[in-house]
Amino acid sequence: MRKAGGANPPVTVRRPKSWLRLAGPLGVLSAILVWSLAAKIVGSDLILPSPVKVGAALGDLLADPHFGSALAGTLGRVAAAFILSLALGGLTGSVSAFSPFMERFLAPILTTTRATPVLALILVAMFWFPSNAVPVFCAILMAFPVFHTAMRAGMAAADQGLLQMAELFGVPARVRFARLRIPAAGPHLASGAKNALGLCWKVVVAGEVLSQPAFALGTGMQESRLSLETAHVFAWAVTTVALCGITEFLLGRLVPRRPGYGREETA
């Protein structure tokens, strides 16, 4: 028993058990085993190639001198769409947090954008833009609402007590915005950025499949489909998934976290 008046014992946040770290690799291994079993049951590489066949096709892609150009082209489009949607969504989200008029003005636009099927948007954009710009335009429209909502929610999450105190002591508005509003929006924006990045990858590659720019992962995927090379289609898809995962990981490492966030603390 704890003595009366004594100090509370230290409370330590326990580390996750070591076996939990194996959950991810075990999940991947299980998916590959199920995939191998399904491919064996189907018995047709045209319908469902085995992981071994897809691995061999991936090796062919890596040896292709044009693969690097396709990779660079898609990465450039994803980066452009991500940065532009971040700038646009950050701007409109910041303004909407302080302007009810702007919030209502943008509401139908955001609703329409969220409800529009990506495929329909790509097909329409192909009438308006060259093949290189179609995936970027469509990805911006799809990712922009994510950044807008995240920025607006983050601005509204600022501590109202600190804001009132800063205003009472005559702190300039720009200082309150930079020191209180922006830090409060950081975690929301970081979460939205991860979702938006994955969305950019999906929309850009889908746009490339239809618009067929000169150097693109989606173009290679479509060409393999037309040649009935199913293993190569899977290899292009695996490449896209891997790149999306890598960029999301790098983004998570680059985005600063709040002090103490994710750390073990002792009270």
The pLDDT of residue 201 is above 50:
yes
**Over the chain, what is the mean pLDDT?**
79
d(CA 152, CA 92): 8
Closest of 125, 153, 154 to residue 139, by C-alpha: 125
Q: Tens of pLDDT along 119-172? A: 888 999 999 999 889 999 999 999 999 888 888 877 766 656 665 565 565 555
The pLDDT of residue 267 is above 70:
no
pLDDT at 138: 92
Q: Tens of pLDDT along 75-116? A: 999 999 999 998 998 888 888 877 788 888 888 888 888 888
Which one is predicted more confidently, 21 or 267?
A: 21
Q: CATH topology for 68-254?
A: MetI-like fold (1.10.3720)
